[in-house]
Chains A and B, each alone.
Chain A
Amino acid sequence: MITVENLTKKFGTVTAVDRVSFTVEEGTIFGFLGPNGAGKTTTISILCTLLSATSGTARIDGHDCTREPSEVRKRIGIVFQDNTLDKELTAYENLLLHAYLYNIPGRERKERIGDALRFVDLYERRNEQVKKFSGGMKRRLEVARSIVHQPRVLFLDEPTLGLDPQSRAHLWEFISTLPEKHKVTVFMTTHYMDEAEICDTIAIIDRGTIIAQGSPQELKRQVGGDSLFLTTTDNRRAAADLKALLDLDAEERGDELVITVSGGESYIPRVVQALTDRVLAVRLRKPTLNDVFLHLTGKAIRPETTSSGEEMRNIVRTYRRKFDNR
């Protein structure tokens, strides 16, 4: 559905996107991951025909994004990083103008808008001005608007940015059902690694280049597997027994023994059996995409990943400190 080959975009001397290549299969969710400023939005802008590429090609459904922009525009829907609704208009009016822009025939307009609004649970509030909506509702309305014209590909650029955890979860419920319910291929960017778990394929981009591609499972496998944390009556003896009986390398980390294996759950019964009665606690930790990013780049994804709740708490803390100092 989307084919990108050696795509490069330069702004003056700065190379924002450097020879990026990937393909997105029809009906899948593709995640474009990376820290802020990695080149995600630039890539989306080229695919959405808002920017032209310096070199390389990008095609959507066989149409070149630079040379056939109007063919591409007919086939895509977009939820931009920042809100593009008209806040003075009602939810219904926003979608109605959209239906006109995409030349949806008169008799279908009302029904399609109604369906889209019901899909995101906003039908009851269709006649309210958008400025009265919460951040999460605005995002959902944007998702509704972007599917009114039944696009083949839907772009979601940081769809959950700035939303509270509850609204985020609510929004993902809708997004994850999009390919099936609306026959659409989803291309999304995010820097929340946990959100990328729902993707079928992920490409990780850092400083304008793609550093890894694959399914979330494949990427996590690169990290080396799951971590099994054991607390035993005697860690040193247990480690020796594990080596002898199961040929597992256990590492002592604080009060715990750590074993790195793939398919960690299946090892739990074997380990417990091998160490008859000496296991006090077992803890399994699956690698996250954050671990993948850390593994690939040697750094954690930049601090923007703190949840908005966390940020809020930090702000409150800072203010408290200021008041206390008085």
Chain B
Amino acid sequence: MKSELNAVYVVIAREFIKFAREKGRLISTLSRPVIWLFLVGGGMSRVVAPDDMGVPYMQFIFPGIIGMTILFSSIFSSVSILWDKEFGFMKEMLVAPVSRFSIVVGKALSGTLLSTIQALIILLLFPFIGLKLGAAQIFFILCISLVLSFCIAALGILIASFFENFESFNIIINFIVMPMFFLSGAMYPVSLLPPVLRLFTSVNPLTYGIDALKYMVFTEKKILTQDFPLGMDLAVIIAASIIFVISAGYVFERRK
């Protein structure tokens, strides 16, 4: 048991050392949500009228932008498994006397922590877009971010375990990550989508995460912004996390 915990620690420590050492990485991953929030959100605010409850568009997409931060940073963190496969470090871990499952859990947890830190930084921009959040709200948003980050990180590992090299990275971004983002209710309410696309949103774990974030950000205005009950959101995310992490562990354990 001790050796398995050590393995989890090794994976997390390695990710954190590397994250701290690559100065540009934090800036580049944070620039995406900032650009979307202020340039897309700010611009669209002029076109899209505030909804019936008086929520301006820039505020409406705020939970979605936090979701985006989590989506991209968790996926990037997990997909670094492809780097490890290509540049060999994965082999060092695979021949060590630790289970594959510990490696997967370590990778998912490091993705979780790194992306929650980034989500927190974006969350702290709330005063600039005219939102008012209390300490309790911030705390619960962070809790949801943790659970959602773990879920997406586990999904990222599961996806990455089907690919062998880093060339597949663009495929993952274009055909999985971008659609996941747009079909999550981040940019527009899910209820406005045609039924076929709504089907996709309902199998997208990010939808439930962003829905829960909306619940916490707009505590008093629940009519247009919220699609599912909070309990359902959390249940779906947690169930999906467990399924993803176990299947990723299984796929990893398999030997040719």
Contact = CB atoms under 8 A, between A and B. Distances in A.
Interface of A: 48-52, 70, 73-74, 76, 78, 80, 82-89, 93, 97-98, 100-103
Contact of B91 (A50, A87, A100): A50
Contacts of B87: 83-84, 87
- Mostly, the B contact residues are helix
Given A49-B255, A73-B96, A88-B22, 20 more contacts: A51-B255, A51-B256, A73-B95, A78-B95, A80-B91, A83-B87, A83-B88, A84-B88, A84-B92, A85-B89, A86-B89, A89-B14, A89-B17, A97-B13, A100-B13, A101-B10, A101-B92, A101-B96, A101-B98, A102-B97
A49 B91 CA distance: 11
B21 A88 contact: yes
Contact of B10 (A48, A83, A97): A97
- Chain B interface extent, by class: 20 to 34
A264 B111 CA distance: 67
Nearest first, the 5 A-B pairs at minimum CB distance are: A84-B88, A103-B3, A73-B97, A101-B96, A74-B97
A100 B9 contact: yes
Interface in B6-61: 6-7, 9-10, 13-14, 17-18, 21-22
B10 A93 contact: no
Given A88-B18, A97-B13, A70 B97 contact: yes
A103 B1 CA distance: 10
B138 interface: no
A49 B88 contact: no
Given A76-B95, A89-B14, A100 B6 contact: yes
Nearest to B254: A52
A89 B255 CA distance: 29
A120 to B, nearest CB: 17
B94 interface: yes
A80 B90 CA distance: 12
Contacts, number: 70
B18 A101 contact: no
A85 B89 CA distance: 6
5 contacts: A84-B89, A84-B92, A101-B92, A102-B96, A103-B2
A52 B255 contact: yes
A126 to B, nearest CB: 15
Given A76-B95, A78-B95, A97-B13, A52 B256 contact: yes
A86 B88 CA distance: 8
A102 B17 CA distance: 20
Contact of A98 (B3, B18, B92): B92
Contact of A93 (B7, B17, B92): B17
A50 B88 contact: no
Contacts of A48: 95
A50 B95 contact: yes
Interface string B198-228: 0000000000000000000000000000000
Contacts of A82: 88
Interface in B51-80: none
A49 B95 CA distance: 7
Nearest to B3: A103
Contacts of B117: none
Contacts of B94: 50
A102 B90 CA distance: 15
A83 B89 CA distance: 8
Contacts of A49: 95, 255
Contacts of B17: 88-89, 93
A325 to B, nearest CB: 36
B147 interface: no
A51 B90 CA distance: 15
A101 B4 CA distance: 8
A87 B21 CA distance: 12
Contacts of B123: none
B7 A101 contact: yes
